[in-house]
Amino acid sequence: MAGKTKTVSAESGKTLQTIVNLWPYMWPADRPDLKMRVVWATAILLVAKVVLLLVPYFFKWSTDALNGKMDAVGILPLFMLGAVTLVVAYNIARLVQLALNQLRDAMFASVGQYAVRQLAFKTFVHLHRLSLRFHLERRTGGLSRVIERGTKGIETIVRFTILNTFPTLIEFILTAAIFWWGYGFSYLFVTAVTVWLYIWFTVRASDWRMNIRRTMNDSDTDANTKAIDSLLNFETVKYFGNEEMEAKRFDASMERYEKSATQVWTSLGWLNFGQGVIFGVGTLVMMVMSAMAVQRGEQTIGDFVFINTMLMQLSIPLNFIGFVYREIRQGLTDIEQMFDLLEVDAEIEDAPDAKPLAIAQGAISFKDVHFAYDAARPILKGVSFEVPAGKTVAIVGPSGAGKSTISRLLYRFYDVQQGAVTIDGQDVRGVTQKSLRAAIGMVPQDTVLFNDTIAYNIRYGRPSAREEEVTQAAEIAQIDQFIRSLPDGYKSMVGERGLKLSGGEKQRVAIARTILKSPPILILDEATSALDTRTEQEIQAALDIVSKNRTTLVIAHRLSTVVNADEIIVLKDGGIAERGRHGDLLAQNGLYAQMWSRQLEATQVEEQLKKVRETDDLGVIVRGKPAAE
């Protein structure tokens, strides 16, 4: 029991904290115009409630007038005009109340949408601030679903909190006061007990349903994640013929969603039935009390109708209280994960006194660098080297030696645990991340393009670039002619992740946007390792042009691409095993020489197999002639 109480307390605390987090979006400090809209919407709402409470009175007076009880109507001249006037007034009051409600919603619309936009924007920016480690450990599909549900949830909560919860409370207080003043404490007591039981039942049942809702959300997120992962890897699925397996994985998640969703709707039926029973019993008691009072001559038929109408009007906001509570709790459930995302601290932050990076020459230095993604598995163990300004240094070594880690540390995707990485003597931890990354250009092994035009992807290197600058960058990257040969030219769409382009074409686009960025420091992270020999040579020629007179760090798998480097550093087991120029390293007959020899043999075998295939193809054609004749 104590554990259950503790859990409920924790849930209440989390809900309260979520509402506190939402308040700046409900009442934006920097938008006095939106605050004024909230004030006007609230004022209109209160007027609408007063008009709403007049409606039963007009109904009561109309009934008494038709029943020949004009003396019970009142003494105001308007009411003495007769039943027809009162009926007209009754209907006009209803229309006025409806018009005021619509005006209120229109006044508040911009407030709700502003809140949605601001929270979505803040979450989007925050996700880009988080570390590479965070994004490597999370699934994109799940994140997109969290943001989608969260933005919808905040709109629900903002609208219902301001426009429904407070006014419904006001309406109940006014209704209770009217019953007490007009009919006595017994009517107030029955009304209060009915409302209390109704709200208590609604809260308890809705809390129970929220647990089911969370399970449904988890299943929905899981199914969406699997669907997006599968579609992003469309080609891989086809390669292995695993469409059926992917379908089964997706269907398993949807099966869990189906069960939870069915429970959600079933439980909603029980909730509505319970609410109906509670309010029905309360209405029955009060109607019996009024009917008996009419028989005793203490009330008129108009009073009987008035009490029934008031209860019917009260049932609408009461039912809406249940709906509002369910929607608010559901909205809170949906945005809990979004606020959890906002509470995740960025692993890499600018120092309080961080200054923009000042590039004088662009010299890079790694000084006794130690780094590990996991403390139990060190990656770099005291690595020290320099890349002089305008020179090219290559990093090679076996897989897992820490080559790509070096580029990530230079970009400051991670911070070193010991030692320092400097540019022109400035520790990268002491400069702003924006200025650091603006000074570095990257051509990665796996170029991922935006699903937009070729021009957009090239201009991504410098969004303010003019059209002629984009074209010039494409010419240097040796892709301009190819682009112009396309039907839509530079406006051609590249497809999801650039899948409409070949590997070499994507690499040239990556080179072009790096040229457009024109950074003083260049990183080539295995930029040609996934290409065939001929394409590699063409891309390498373009890279040589780009890296000229720039400080260049080359992370290479194919050693043929680094033979002209000013220095080659060979990594092994997190340390520097060898260093020197290509010829010197071959002369040492060490690890580099062994790697060179193996790659040379592999290249020769590949060329021989290619010649054999060409010979076989020619032989088939020649030998096939007689048979065909």
Asked if residue 532 has pLDDT above 70, the reply is no
Whether the per-residue pLDDT at 621 is higher than 70: the answer is: no
In which band, very low, low, confident or very high, does the pLDDT at 162 lie, cut at 50, 70 and 90? low
Q: What is the pLDDT of residues 424-443, one digit of tens each?
A: 989 999 999 889 988 988 88
Distance CA 382, CA 369 (A): 5
208 vs 159, higher pLDDT: 208
More confident residue, 531 or 415: 415
Angle between helices 301-343 and 83-129 (to 10 degrees): 10
Give per-residue pLDDT as tens, 81-101.
566 777 777 778 778 878 887
pLDDT digits (tens, 9 = 90+) for 469-482: 999 888 888 888 88
Q: Is the distance from CB of 414 to CB of 132 less than 8 angstroms?
A: yes
Residue 324 has pLDDT above 80, yes or no: no
Query: Does the structure show a pLDDT above 70 at 465?
Result: yes
Query: Is pLDDT at 237 greater than 60 in this prediction?
Result: yes
Return the percentage of the chain with pLDDT > 90, whole number.
6
The per-type count for the chain, helices as H runs and strands as E runs, is: 19, 10
> What number of other Cβ atoms are within 10 A of residue 397's Cβ?
24
Element (H, E) at 436: helix 433-438
Instruction: Return the closest-CA partner of residue 310 out of 45, 93, 60, 79.
Output: 60
**Per-residue confidence (pLDDT) for residue 420, from 0 to 100:** 93
Angle at 565 between CA 563 and CA 567, to 5 degrees: 115
Region 560-581: what's the mean pLDDT?
A: 88
Q: What are the tens digits of pLDDT across the range 398-414?
A: 877 888 888 889 988 88
The predicted structure's pLDDT at residue 135: 66
CB neighbour class for 139 (10 Å; exposed up to 12, middle 13-18, buried from 19): middle
Q: How high is the pLDDT of residue 75?
A: 42
Q: For residue 326, what pLDDT is reported?
A: 67
d(CA 352, CA 466): 36
pLDDT at 6 over 80: no
Closest CA to 521 of 409, 406, 387, 427: 387
- Tens-place pLDDT, residues 147-158: 777 777 777 776
CB 423 within 8 A of CB 362: yes
Mean pLDDT of the residues in the chain:
78
Q: What percent of the chain has pLDDT over 70?
A: 82
**Is the predicted pLDDT of residue 571 greater than 80, yes or no?**
yes
Six token digits for residue 503:
């590997």
pLDDT bucket at 419, cuts 50 / 70 / 90: very high
> How far, in Å, CA of 54 to CA of 309, rounded?
11
296's CB contacts (< 8 A; 6+ apart) are none
SS3 of 371-409: ECCECCECCEEEEEEEECCCCEEEEECCCCCCHHHHHHH
Walk me through the domains of the chain, giving residue ranges and CATH numbers. 18-343 (1.20.1560.10), 356-439+521-592 (3.40.50.300), 442-518 (3.40.50.300)
* pLDDT over 80 at 591, yes or no: yes
* Residue 186 C-beta-side C-alpha neighbours within 13 Å: 8
pLDDT at residue 127 greater than cutoff 90 = no
Tens of pLDDT along 30-64? Answer: 888 888 887 888 788 788 878 877 777 777 777 77
- Residues 26 and 13: their CA atoms lie apart, in Å, by 20
